Chains A and B, each alone.
Chain A
Amino acid sequence: MIGPQDPVPLLRALAAAGVEHVVIGGFAVISYGVVRVTKDLDICPAPDGANLQRLARCLADLEVTQIGAGDFDTHEMPFDPTRAQDLEEGGNFRLECELGVLDVMQWISGVDADRAYDVLGGGAVTAEVDGVPVRICSLAHLRAMKRAAGRPQDLQDLADLAIAHGDDGDESG
């Protein structure tokens, strides 16, 4: 069972491994003032080969396993996130390890790019939590992703972000 998550240990591991990434999802929502609990950490990694190698090594060190793979067993999954060349295929991975649940997102609905980082990286803001530097996607990009996802939690987040920051009108990423 997946419960509330403390994302700091995962962020610290990614920072220690030198993985360049932008935080999206629930933890990004929190950073914009909608303080709520999250069950996972969502990141979008920089797509260059060296960075994906660092990410693959970090995921291997964390001994991640894939979850949310429908009818597939882990060994049947076509891509292995602990291999940089598999990450370079551009897919998304939902992973679990001792430190928690990590979503590695490279293609994201609402972000108009084959590699989402190419868009998200530009507008990201820098913050810090427990001494760990983190880059958070821009509010405009966060809203665009939430609008595109459109699940009940996304709509609630959009409503709360509108209270915290005003209505975004036709703003887009």
Chain B
Amino acid sequence: MTMAPRERTPEEIAAWRAGDAERNERARIERLRRDGARSPSENLAEGVTLGRRAKAFFGVAVRRSRP
């Protein structure tokens, strides 16, 4: 048996969003502490991968935004 989905109140949605932001920030801080302990080469490898993905995405976004 499945329950019919209950509509969330605005207060519940706001609380969920606030908690999500807090969880994201906590994860970001943990990641920074972890990455700070890695070697520059390891961090550069990850940074380059991220940059390449962003560049590919950015190129697609620019092409799509052109009239």
Kindly state the separation between the CA atoms of A13 and B32 in the bound complex, as whole angstroms.
31
Is B41 touching A129 in the complex (CB atoms < 8 A)?
yes
Please tell me if B39 contacts chain A, counting CB pairs below 8 Å: yes
Complex interface: chain A residues within 8 A of B37 (CB): 33
Q: Is the interface of B mostly helix, strand, loop or mixed?
A: helix
Complex interface: chain B residues within 8 A of A134 (CB): 44
- Tell me how many residues of A have a C-beta within 8 Å of chain B: 29
Is B29 touching A4 in the complex (CB atoms < 8 A)?
no
Kindly state the separation between the CA atoms of A3 and B10 in the bound complex, as whole angstroms.
37
Which of the candidate stretches A35-43, A68-76, A80-88, A113-121 sits at the interface with the other chain?
Answer: A35-43
| Chain B residues proximal to chain A, CB less than 8 Å | 29, 32-41, 43-48, 50-52, 54-55, 58-59, 62
| Chain A residues proximal to chain B, CB less than 8 Å | 1, 3-8, 27, 30-38, 125, 127-130, 134, 136, 160-161, 163-165
* 21 A–B contacts, CB within 8 A, in A order: A3-B62, A4-B54, A4-B55, A5-B55, A6-B55, A7-B51, A27-B47, A31-B41, A31-B43, A31-B47, A32-B40, A32-B43, A33-B32, A34-B32, A35-B43, A36-B47, A127-B44, A128-B41, A129-B45, A163-B36, A164-B35
